[in-house]
């Protein structure tokens, strides 16, 4: 279990660095290139769509956290035998730490294209950073000890 916790901690740090890197690239692109907002429906509903994406992403991350990590924590607290659950736990936590930056980057690019404003991409990057910082692989160790 300790090996998994160390691996996930390193992966989390890597994903935080990737989100920072993508945010810096987005800022550099916004200063060097002019992105024009999309004109679907004459651009009338772009902001509503962006706000819907933000709300959707927050709800989605909560559901992903529950499905991919929290239910395993509950299982580990109740059962001391974690060996049979370890491969599934490893797979799900790696998937969670991949999906957080990947999904927020895609939604950030969509919001950036819809608005032409890099601040929406940075909002999605902040959501990814906050989520990555809230997901602590060391909680697996605490669940095992209890």
51: Cα within 13 Å, side-chain hemisphere: 4
DSSP-based helix, strand, coil % in the chain, nearest 5: 85, 0, 15
pLDDT for 34 beyond 70: yes
**20 token code pair:** 């920072």
CA distance 42 to 30: 22
Question: What confidence tens digit (pLDDT) does each residue in 50-106 have?
Answer: 999 999 999 999 999 999 988 888 888 887 777 788 888 889 999 999 999 999 999
Question: What confidence tens digit (pLDDT) does each residue in 102-136 have?
Answer: 999 999 999 999 999 999 999 999 999 999 999 98
Contact (Cβ atoms closer than 8 angstroms) between residue 130 and residue 15: no
- Tell me the pTM: 0.88
CA distance 91 to 16: 19
Average pLDDT over residues 17-25: 96
Average pLDDT over residues 41-51: 88
């Amino acid at each position: 279990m300790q090996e998994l916790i160390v691996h996930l901690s390193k992966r989390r740090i890597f994903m935080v660095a990737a989100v920072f890197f993508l945010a810096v690239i987005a800022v550099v692109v916004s200063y060097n290139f002019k992105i024009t907002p999309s004109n679907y429906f004459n651009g009338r509903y772009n902001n509503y769509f962006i706000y819907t994406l933000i709300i959707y992403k927050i709800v989605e991350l909560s559901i992903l956290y529950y499905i991919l990590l929290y239910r395993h924590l509950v299982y580990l607290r109740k059962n001391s035998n974690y060996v049979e659950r370890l491969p599934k736990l490893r797979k799900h936590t790696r998937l969670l730490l991949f999906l957080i930056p990947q999904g927020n980057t895609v939604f950030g690019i969509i919001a950036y294209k819809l608005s032409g404003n890099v601040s929406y991409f940075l909002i999605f990057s902040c959501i990814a950073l906050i989520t990555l910082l809230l997901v602590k692989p060391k909680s697996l160790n605490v669940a095992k000890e209890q």
